[in-house]
Each structure stands twice: as C-alpha cells, then as structure tokens.
Amino acid sequence: MERLLYHVDVISRQRNRGQLEASLVAALREMAGAESAGLYKLFTPPGDLMVGLAADATVAAARILDDGISWPEGTGSLERFPHLHACLAAAALYEDREPGTNFHRYSVPIAGIGQETFGFVCLTSRDPLDAGRIAVVSGLLALFRNCVAMLDYSEIDTLTGLLNRKTFDEYLINILSHVANEGDQQPASLRLPRRRQAHKAAAHHWLGVMDIDHFKAINDKFGHLIGDEVLILIANIMKSSFRSQDKLFRFGGEEFVVLLKPTELANALATFERFRNEVEQFPFPQVGRVTISIGFTRIGLYDTPSIILDNADEALYYAKENGRNRVCSYEALLDAGKLERHQLMHTDVEIF
C-alpha cells in the first residue's frame, strides 16, 4: 500500500505530459509486478490509424519516447500491432502472449473524458495477473485520465477547444530547441513513418498563421454569438483537416496558428490549401460563405520565435493585400521578389 500511495503522489504532481506518462508506466510496471510496461498513443492522420510508443518502463528505468513535437520512433499503422488492434475492437482488456518470450501480455485501452480511445497500456508479465493487480491497473489508469484532463483544461482555449497561446509558446520553444540540437536537416525520427514519407525533399517544421477574412463585418452584421459560432466551426474544420500530430492553436480573436509536423514544402502548401478550400466550401449557418487567409513559414535552425511569427505574419499580410482567401509561403514570396526579408511594412490593409 505504501508503494501504491507513493506512485499516486508522483503521478498527481506531474505538470508535464511526458513526465506524467513516464510516471504512469513506472507505477504500472511495479504495482502489477510486470517485466515491462508501455504506453502507446493512437494517432489519426487522414486515411489511417497510427500507433507510437510514447513511454515505457522496465526494472531498470522509465523512458519518455514522445517529445510532443515529432512522431515517436517506430510509429506505424495500427495493423502492425495486432494485440492493440484487437484491444481497440473489444474496447476492453485484451490478453495474449508476447511473441518471442511467450510472456503474458495485457493490453488495456485508455479513453478520454468523452470515452474516445486515445491510447493503450501494454504490460508483459511472466505470470498471469490476478484480479487484484488488474484492479490496481484500472485505478492507476483512472487517475492518469483525470490528470490528463486537468492538463488539457490548462492548455485549451475554452471557446474553440484548440490549444491556447500559452501552450503555443511552450511548443515553439521545444521545437526550436530540438532543431538546434539536431541541425536543420531533420533526422528520420522527426518525419512521418516510412510509408507516409516522401523520398526527395527534406522535411521541416512549419508555422502557419490564419485569419478569417472580414470577420469584423460578420460580427457587426450578425452579432457576436454568430461570430463565436463561426470561430467554433472554423476550429472544428481545423481538427478534421490537419493531422492529429499537428498542433492547432487559437491566438485570440479570429487568428489561428498551426504548427505542422516535419514535412516537405509541397506537402505543407497542400495541407494549408486543403484547409483553406474546406473553409470556403463550408455552409456557415446564417453567414453563408466564409473565407480565410493563410501565411506560413519554415522553422529554421537560426530562427527566433519573433522572427518566425513575423515571417508568417508578412506572408499573411501579403495574402490579405492581394485578394484574400489564399495561402502564401513566406519563402516563396522571398524567392519571387514579392517580399524583402523582415520587411515589416503593413499599412492600410483591413485585417479585422
């Protein structure tokens, strides 16, 4: 009981997602008497379900394997993990034997507050787990879900359900730190799993700034309740359009920001263009047609947060000044001579 209370205390004190996940698997491994414990996250990029190992624990140590800014090493299709596939289908504990060791393997789904599965815990044990140990596992997972919900609450914009500005600052600093450590050419671990990689261009992180066109006119004509509804619907389109590993933020007002996971320029452009088109085609109640302008930029090795945001803002202003309802790349505008580097001269264009 003393060790269980110790682990409950450690888990409850975590305010960092990676540390929380590592604390969970360490507690599960010890309290279940297992050889190992792993926490797998379920990702939902368009067209497939992907699974990646976010944290694991053995007798020796617990490890954080998901840095929050890249795909965990070894991430692959759910079909490559038949025990997790069966666990998801059953929506309940699934027991089988681990290939190679023949240890007992227990896979347990992790559901959020809305009961949607977002991951799994996998335990391997020489001996079968009795009902008491399984009950302890269930209790620790319930505690973990509550801690995740509290972290989500502190990171989420209450109107749209997107991440908030404070969380953006943390993510961007982490990305810049990672890029500085690894260099400008991103290693394979930062890219999409192999079957989703392109093989020609280098993959980089990208930041996009998005602004609803003529949003002030929408508020003035239809009122702020309808304006809020437009913001919520835009956020919902974002959630369905971007990959689950891309980070989506509301900056306030009608401005949104996206941090794309490492990908090539052509893919980044296509991703933003797809979202722009989905917004344009969506029938907004009462308002009808709404459009959005987007400026995006590559996150480079020697960039600072202010430079990155300034670059994306310049591309956004160019999109606004040149017809709106379009996507503009800062680097492409530089190459075409449409902008000068760090030219911050935005004057009489109507943004809001």
Active site residue 254: yes
pLDDT digits (tens, 9 = 90+) for 226-243: 999 999 999 999 999 998
pTM for the full predicted model: 0.76
Q: Rounded to whole angstroms, how far apart are CA atoms 348 and 273?
A: 26
- Strand-pairing partners, residue 294, are 210, 327
Are 24 and 140 in the same domain?
Answer: yes
Are 148 and 220 in the same domain?
Answer: no
Identify the active-site residue in 35, 254, 255, 314: 254
Are 244 and 135 in the same domain?
Answer: no
Are 319 and 178 in the same domain?
Answer: yes
Strands (E) across 135-288 are located at 204-212, 247-252, 255-263
Q: How many other CB atoms are found less than 10 A from the CB of residue 106?
A: 25
Are 185 and 327 in the same domain?
Answer: yes
Q: Of 243, 240, 237, which Cα lies nearest the Cα of 191?
A: 243
What is the extent of the structural domain holding 13?
2-155
Question: What is the average pLDDT score of the chain?
Answer: 89
Q: Tell whether the model's pLDDT for residue 175 goes beyond 50.
A: yes
**pLDDT (0 to 100) of residue 337:** 92
- Of the three residues 105, 137, 155, the one that is the final residue of a domain is 155
Are 174 and 253 in the same domain?
Answer: yes
- Does residue 201 form part of some domain? yes
Residue pointed to by tokens 């400026």: 295
- Does residue 340 form part of some domain? no
Q: How many structural domains compose the chain?
A: 2
Q: Rounded to whole angstroms, how far apart are CA atoms 341 and 313?
A: 12
Instruction: Kindly provide the b/e burial profile for residues 247-275, where b requires at least 16 CB atoms within 10 angstroms of the residue's own CB.
Output: bbbbbeebbbbbbbbbbbbebbbebbeeb
Give the pair of three-digit tokens for residue 205. 């992180």
**pLDDT (0 to 100) of residue 46:** 58
Give the pair of three-digit tokens for residue 112. 């959020």
Q: Tell whether the model's pLDDT for residue 279 goes beyond 60.
A: yes
Q: Rounded to whole angstroms, how far apart are CA atoms 18 and 350?
A: 42
Mean pLDDT of 135-158: 93
Strands (E) across the chain are located at 36-43, 50-57, 62-64, 76-77, 94-97, 104-111, 117-125, 204-212, 247-252, 255-263, 292-298, 327-329
**pLDDT (0 to 100) of residue 347:** 41
Are 79 and 198 in the same domain?
Answer: no
Residue 29, CA atoms < 13 Å, CB-side half-sphere: 21
